[in-house]
Amino acid sequence: MRVALYARVSTEAQQVRGTIASQLEALRARAASEGDQVVAEFCDDGYSGARLDRPGLDGLRDAAEAGGTATCVLNAANEVAVHAFLGDRLDFMGIPAVIERTLEALPPGRVHSFDTLYKADAEARRIAGGYVGVRA
């Protein structure tokens, strides 16, 4: 999975101790252990968590928005494929194939509302179900 990392410290004392670096180090290690690909890192040094207008957080939001419905489609296809695997209707290595084919069939769209995500989820489940030969 492609992931983005976010780290933040809000006080000078935290900045001096190098908390951002240690947070990112821990996040990178976790991503590596999960087999995830880190595609971006966002940081906010000295910004309070009470503020929602932080440059790093804004960048993270922009990146997530650019992905549009892809995350929703990936999740829906994964759930259908894993369910089929657990029901002995799909080999384990078929899971990523179903996800990939579903993502290819449904290019990312812009998220305008929750309804956009709901429709993308339903369509992804329908398509993924077709790839495993079951009704989703």
Q: What SS3 class is residue 21?
A: helix
* Helices assigned H by DSSP within 1-136: 12-16, 19-34, 55-67, 70-86, 94-105, 114-132
Q: Are residues 60 and 76 in the same domain?
A: no
Binning pLDDT at 50, 70 and 90, where does residue 135 land? very low
Residue 121: count of CB within 10 angstroms of its CB? 17
Query: Residue 85's domain is classified under what CATH number?
Result: 1.10.1740.10
Domain CATH for 21:
3.40.50.1390
Number of domains in the chain: 2
Share of the chain above pLDDT 90, in %: 24
What average pLDDT does the structure give for the chain? 83
Same domain, 38 and 63: yes
Q: Which residue has the higher pLDDT, 111 or 100?
A: 100
Residues 75 and 59 in one domain: no
Q: Model's pTM, two decimal places?
A: 0.53
Q: Are residues 57 and 13 in the same domain?
A: yes
Residues 62 and 86 in one domain: no
79 lies in which domain range?
70-132
User: In this predicted structure, what is the pLDDT of residue 16?
Assistant: 59
Residue-wise pLDDT for 43-71, tens only, equals 887 777 777 888 888 887 777 777 778 87
pLDDT reading at 74 higher than 50: yes
- Give the CA distances from residue 126 to residues 3, 5, 49, 115, 120, in Å, rounded to whole numbers and listed in that order: 26, 31, 40, 17, 10
Same domain, 97 and 40: no
Q: 59: which residues sit within 8 A by CB, 6+ positions away?
A: 40, 42
Q: What gap in Å lies between CA 69 and CA 107, rounded to an integer?
A: 8
